[in-house]
Structure 1
Amino acid sequence: MSVSEVPASLRSWMSAVSEIARAVNAAEPLEAVLTRVARHACRLIGFEFCTVMLADAQRTHLRPAGWCGLSPDYVALVTDGDALLIDPPGPQLDTPAARAFREGRTIAVADVRSARRYGLLRQLAPAQGYRALLAVPLRAPDDLAGVIVAYSVAARQFAGPELELAELLAGQAALALETARLRTAQQEVIGELSRANTALRRGRAVLEWAEQQHHRLMQLVLDEVGLAGLVTALAETLGASVTVEDADGRVLASAPEQGYRPPPDAAARRRGPARAALAAQESATDRRYEVATVPVVPAGGPVLPGAPGVAAAQVAWAAPVVLGGELVARLWVTAPPAAPEPVQLRVVERFALVVALELLQQRHLVDVHGRLSGDLLADLLRPGGPTHPQVLLDRAAALGQDLSRPHLVAVLALDGPVPPSVRLPELVRAAAEPGPRPLAGPYDGLQVVLLPVEPDPGGALRRILTQVEHAIGAAATPTLVAGPVARAVPDYATAFRVARGALALRRASRAGGVVDVRELGLSALLLETGTPEALRRFARGRLRPVAAYEAQRGGDLLATLRTWLSTGCSTAATAAALVVHPNTVSYRLGRIEQLIGRSLRDIGVRLELQLALTIRDIVRSDTGPGARTGR
């Protein structure tokens, strides 16, 4: 789909995100970036004025750092003296901005004239001429940094989409603040590098080399080469192998393609010298990006750091990548051609800082993608189906999904607490690779996954369940249901209800595993409308005489009945499938008729038994009818 076909509101939002990201990457002054955020808030949500306020160093006042539409007199009014106290002595000096910062949540004021708890508004609002406002906190990774306040000249109630978009823009402002902080830290490292270079014996040649790497690194950032480009450039600079791992040890990028040497494996990192080096690096508080030299212990015995005969290939360099005090990744340099020079270690530190910037931007874009995916699923799966199907198709296309193609509708539930570090939609999308990326997000208390039916999604479903089980450990039990296939936009809501019904039935009996209900036919109607207890009661009532007889005397009656129904009620086909004589099949079917007191020639009786067997399969088996997935 071309850009001109994307809905205007979505195009405007995506354009705003791209513009702010480019300004951040180009190291535009913080005040200018925050002014961009304020201008987009006015344009996208329909406010007349907007300002981004930051807490001062003492965290006693909020002061404007970027704004749109505000008069110079008003900016001076809220800047001078004790205008906006974060913790005022009483309500006569309180403001919605201060309260949003104190409580860390969005504050909406529909009409300032009736907002009696904010005494200072009686002075501020007439000075600028606004009647309503919205104050949203700026959430930095480790603390609140300030607030974004948007003003309307008319009194108004704020709807959910307006609040959500304001919070997304606040996230953009927080991204700019965190980026500015990281750039400041980067400049400190560069300054330290310059001071250290003057003491090096090689003097000016070493300094020129370091400056060349600095300029090259800055150009890579401006060119937006991404994480893979940064890693390739560092590998070329050092003549070594470079790897970036996330906090769980998954490789995010590596280079070079030819002659690549991986970092030490988990066993090597647990050995004495390597473990000590990494532990000292992680516990350091004064220089979080300092490179650690990690001895690579050979299988024949220990090698001590600095011992005679230790080759460069037996040493790896590790630099932590930190965001907001949290270790989010690690940069490894392995198989260097010689022992590292101090200036080379500083270059690695600078690359680690830029990797942190890249991961921060990726994390924010993932959050935006997740919010938009969740909104799309809510409109797609709503009861009664979507009201504007083509609009949903356009929104999905903007997210890289073609929902006009047939998609399997799957639902995932976890019984038990989920660790805060587990981001399920992101985990599901990553686990589906190398196949098509699914549309995944929360809806109605469940995780919904939409996967194209071509290629067959069975492998992706198995990987998703395996990755979720690995991520949550024993904390919770995941149950995954592969529901019906939706072939048109109105089918998605119905397919979701069927999958949800099968999930409820399975969880009410025994949570965990995979249930496949893709090819139920009329049985899907019962799953869509029945409660778990009613479904189990129906199945027990129809199958109890046969199950009781089989439990006492054997005879494989239920297996024979299941096969006979699935083969179109063919005695010959059933005999061939079970490798028995056709007379044996006829005898067993006759015994079933005696036990239930009804004739199998009655199509209604056959339908009831088919439904009962379907319910029995979901409750008792690891996979349901027509199973094509497994654990």
Structure 2
Amino acid sequence: MSVPEVPASLRSWMSAVSEIARAVNAAEPLDAVLTRVAEQACLLIGFEYCAVMLADAAGEHLQVAGWSGLSPDYVALVSDGGSLLIRPPGPHLDSPAARAFREGRTVAVPDVATAASYGRLRSLAPAQGYQGLLAAPLRTSDELAGVIVAYSVAAREFAAPEVELIELLAGQAALALETARLRTASQAVIGELSRANAELRRGRAVLEWAEEQHHRLMQLVLDGVGLPGLVTALAATLQASVTVEDAEGALLARAPEVGYRPPPDSRARRRRPARAALEAGDNPTRRYEVVQVPVVRPAGPVVPGAPGRAAGEVAWAAPVVLGGELVGRLWVTAPPAAPAPVQLRVVERFALVVGLELLKQRHLVDMQGRLSGDLLGDLLRPDGPARPQAVLTRAAALGHDLSRPHVLAVLAVDGPAPAATRLSELIRGGAEPDAHPLAGPYDGLHVLLLRAEPGPPEVLEVLGRILTHTAAALAPRATPTVVAGPVARTLGDYATAFRVARGAAALRRANRPGGLVDVRDLGLSALLLETGTPDALRRFARGLLQPLIVHEAVRGGDLLATLRAWLAAGCSTSSAAAALVVHPNTVGYRLARVEQLTGRSLRDTEVRLELQLALTIREIVHLDHPT
């Protein structure tokens, strides 16, 4: 079964939320508000029917309170007292809606025909004519109130964004229900004593404050302020420090700039009280709830001027979830007072929107990766791009002027990477904030193009950060290798540069995977690296350098270092001596010894090229042993 695209854009979602909020604020009847929620589920996610069901006062049955697209006969059938039992005596009377309510989690039924554990569907589904459904619980601040059920005429697998959207709409329905109950309660106390009236006014002010923050949040998303803007706004609202991390604890955004207090470090989180609190927050049945995490002050002397931890200090953490997967956390630390329940609800809403922002970023990275991969496929054709100007135009759209020199690098991974690994995100995370390589998959490797102009950031520094970041994410099962290949100055140079970098990567991986290899300045000797196999290149280097390696192992003499320095200095004896801090006569003696041991004349240009390549191969594969 194909998985349909979710038709709701972020702007459509915000518009729907605003419409529901307006209906709630206008004090529309609860059934009308819940009907709006059902209609928006059909419009945003592409379902044919939808129903919002509430538990009865006894907690025994689910009853339809608002719906879209369902026939009156079906609504009557479902609303029958014995139809949707919350705790049926067996699977022959069970339903996905009842199970979602009982277990407090979203239940998906891709195909009714194969859902043997839900006996009620055998009579309900044909009555309305649906094949698949999603049921998500409605959770108010203190209880489960009901479920929202969306129906599909066709059987289908439900994608993670569809599940996220139905759960977010369930949250809006729960908010509408809770607001309606609060409004009913507020009307009941009208005319009470002045103290009760004052408390009511305070409660309404709190609700208005929360609603104001909600609308402000929606506007920030529409304005496209990104994750830093959202975090800054929440920090200002709560007068606290706010931090967003990914699932591995890496910092994504934080605020404020002045007086920022970080969340507990990894050591503090491993302590039993903190670990228990975080594990409770990660429980799927409490998917978006804020949890209180104790902060233990580390032992040791107090550093003057450094922010300390007050005894008994606590922090608050909200999980950021996408498709049932924990992708990060939102932390609130050092508020002026413990957040009130309504403030914690604001934090939970922020965590939901942070999840949407991360989802948007993930989709953007995936799209850029696909575009970059297609571009690299055209750029690295063995005979060069078929349409050079089109390649330049597409690269410019991705922020790279390929008419200027670029270093071509490759990243290879040996070993089984974790299932959730996204190399594009790892490369971007390691390269930021001062470099944005054009990166994408090609021929079993990840290719990176970085501007080669002088000035920061230096290419090897950026590649080193990418390697470190990627290795930390893949450890201990997989090992990345990064090769900085030649500089490509014209479009026709990129295919050659790729073959050289690929050859160096194959040579390194065949001997000892991992690390950063630099073959940017090989010159003509790169042709051998481009065409030779790893075994042939190793034999070539060992055969040429073996006498020098054996001599150094037995007698020392720094012959290899001297030869390397002399070749790097343009075959200048005086420059090599200065680099090695020895007398020029010493360099001359050592070079004569090299000629004697290898039986080759260093005056021969071809010999110098061969020695240069042999030394490069030795550095790549760590060819250090005499045998």
Give the structure-2-normalised TM-score. 0.69
Please list the CA deviations of residues 309-366 of structure 1 after superposition, one character each: whole Å capped at 9, or x if unmatched.
x999923222112222211121222222223322222222222222222222222222
Determine whether 1:385 maps to 2:384: yes
Hey, what does 2:474 align to over in structure 1? 472
Please list the CA deviations of residues 556-595 of structure 1 after superposition, one character each: whole Å capped at 9, or x if unmatched.
3333333333333333333443344444433333333333
* 1:193-272 superposed matches below 5 A: 195=181, 198=185, 202-272=202-272
Q: Is the 8 A contact 1:179 1:357 kept in 2?
A: no
Q: Is the 8 A contact 1:245 1:330 kept in 2?
A: yes
Distance 1:294 1:466 in 2: 30
Q: Which amino acid aligns with 1:483?
A: G
Q: CA deviation at 1:294?
A: 2.2
Distance 1:444 1:489 in 2: 18
Distance 2:397 2:8 in 1: 17
Mark the CA change 1:276 to 1:593 in structure 2 (over 3 Å): closer, same or farther: closer
Hey, what does 1:164 align to over in structure 2? none
Distance 1:313 1:548 in 2: 65
Hey, what does 2:572 align to over in structure 1? 570
Determine whether 1:183 maps to 2:169: yes
Q: CA deviation at 1:81?
A: 8.4
Q: CA deviation at 1:423?
A: 1.2
Match of 2:436, SS state, is coil
Among residues 11, 14, 18, which one is paired with 1:22 in the alignment?
11
Q: CA deviation at 1:21?
A: 4.5
Distance 1:234 1:572 in 2: 64
Hey, what does 1:158 align to over in structure 2? none
Mark the CA change 1:221 to 1:588 in structure 2 (over 3 Å): closer, same or farther: closer
Q: Which amino acid aligns with 2:272?
A: G
Q: Is the 8 A contact 1:483 1:516 kept in 2?
A: yes
* 1:2-41 superposed matches below 5 A: 20-27=9-16, 29=40, 31-32=42-43
Point out the more displaced range, 540-549 or 490-499.
540-549
Match of 2:285, SS state, is coil
Match of 1:205, SS state, is helix
Hey, what does 1:527 align to over in structure 2? 529
* 1:153-552 superposed matches below 5 A: 175=161, 178-189=164-175, 191-192=177-178, 195=181, 198=185, 202-283=202-283, 285-299=284-298, 314-454=313-453, 455=456, 456-552=458-554
Q: CA deviation at 1:58?
A: 4.7
Match of 2:282, SS state, is helix
Please list the CA deviations of residues 91-135 of structure 1 after superposition, one character each: whole Å capped at 9, or x if unmatched.
xxxxxxxxxxxxxxxxxxxxxxxxxxxxxxxxxxxxxxxxxxxxx
Mark the CA change 1:403 to 1:190 in structure 2 (over 3 Å): closer, same or farther: farther
Distance 2:522 2:152 in 1: 53
Q: CA deviation at 1:517?
A: 0.7
* 1:67-216 superposed matches below 5 A: 175=161, 178-189=164-175, 191-192=177-178, 195=181, 198=185, 202-216=202-216
Q: Is the 8 A contact 2:413 2:480 kept in 1?
A: yes
Distance 1:563 1:299 in 2: 50
Hey, what does 1:620 align to over in structure 2? 622
Q: Is the 8 A contact 1:406 1:485 kept in 2?
A: yes
Q: Which amino acid aligns with 1:560?
A: T
Mark the CA change 1:184 to 1:363 in structure 2 (over 3 Å): closer, same or farther: farther
Q: Which amino acid aligns with 1:508?
A: A
Q: CA deviation at 1:463?
A: 0.8
Point out the more displaced range, 551-560 or 416-425.
551-560
Q: CA deviation at 1:520?
A: 0.7
Determine whether 1:59 maps to 2:59: no
Please list the CA deviations of residues 493-540 of structure 1 after superposition, one character each: whole Å capped at 9, or x if unmatched.
111111111111122222222111111111111111111111122222
Mark the CA change 1:440 to 1:204 in structure 2 (over 3 Å): closer, same or farther: same
Match of 2:571, SS state, is coil
Distance 1:193 1:471 in 2: 44
Note the aligned Cα RMSD (angstroms).
Answer: 3.6
Point out the more displaced range, 602-611 or 332-341.
602-611
Provide structure 1 residue ranges, at least 5 long, that are not aligned to the other structure: 1-15, 37-55, 63-78, 87-143, 150-169, 302-309, 623-631
Distance 1:500 1:531 in 2: 11
Q: Is the 8 A contact 2:242 2:255 kept in 1?
A: yes
Mark the CA change 1:363 to 1:298 in structure 2 (over 3 Å): closer, same or farther: same
Q: Which amino acid aligns with 2:576?
A: T
Mark the CA change 1:564 to 1:258 in structure 2 (over 3 Å): closer, same or farther: closer
Q: Which amino acid aligns with 2:492?
A: P
Determine whether 1:609 maps to 2:598: no
Match of 2:16, SS state, is coil
Mark the CA change 1:313 to 1:570 in structure 2 (over 3 Å): closer, same or farther: same
Please list the CA deviations of residues 273-317 of structure 1 after superposition, one character each: whole Å capped at 9, or x if unmatched.
32222222222x43311221223334589xxxxxxxx99992322
Distance 1:193 1:316 in 2: 28
Match of 2:248, SS state, is coil
Distance 2:254 2:599 in 1: 69
Q: Which amino acid aligns with 1:335?
A: A
Q: Which amino acid aligns with 2:208?
A: E
Distance 1:191 1:84 in 2: 27
Match of 1:400, SS state, is coil
Distance 1:18 1:493 in 2: 40
Q: Is the 8 A contact 2:269 2:275 kept in 1?
A: yes
Mark the CA change 1:27 to 1:362 in structure 2 (over 3 Å): closer, same or farther: farther
Mark the CA change 1:420 to 1:575 in structure 2 (over 3 Å): closer, same or farther: same
Q: CA deviation at 1:233?
A: 2.5
Higher relative contact order (CA 8 A, sep 6+): 1
Distance 2:153 2:514 in 1: 44
Match of 1:316, SS state, is strand
Q: Is the 8 A contact 2:484 2:517 kept in 1?
A: yes
Mark the CA change 1:148 to 1:438 in structure 2 (over 3 Å): closer, same or farther: farther
Distance 2:178 2:388 in 1: 58
Q: CA deviation at 1:235?
A: 2.3
Match of 2:286, SS state, is coil
Distance 1:435 1:387 in 2: 32
Q: CA deviation at 1:25?
A: 4.2
Q: CA deviation at 1:145?
A: 9.0
Distance 2:552 2:298 in 1: 60
Q: Is the 8 A contact 1:241 1:261 kept in 2?
A: yes
Give the structure-1-normalised TM-score. 0.69
Give the paired residue count.
Answer: 485
Distance 1:537 1:58 in 2: 61
Match of 1:26, SS state, is helix
Q: Is the 8 A contact 1:523 1:614 kept in 2?
A: no
Q: CA deviation at 1:371?
A: 1.5
Please list the CA deviations of residues 50-104 of structure 1 after superposition, one character each: whole Å capped at 9, or x if unmatched.
xxxxxx9753369xxxxxxxxxxxxxxxx99899979xxxxxxxxxxxxxxxxxx
Match of 2:319, SS state, is strand
Mark the CA change 1:82 to 1:272 in structure 2 (over 3 Å): closer, same or farther: closer
Provide structure 2 residue ranges, at least 5 long, that are not aligned to the other structure: 18-39, 48-106, 114-124, 133-150, 187-198, 301-308
Mark the CA change 1:589 to 1:264 in structure 2 (over 3 Å): closer, same or farther: closer
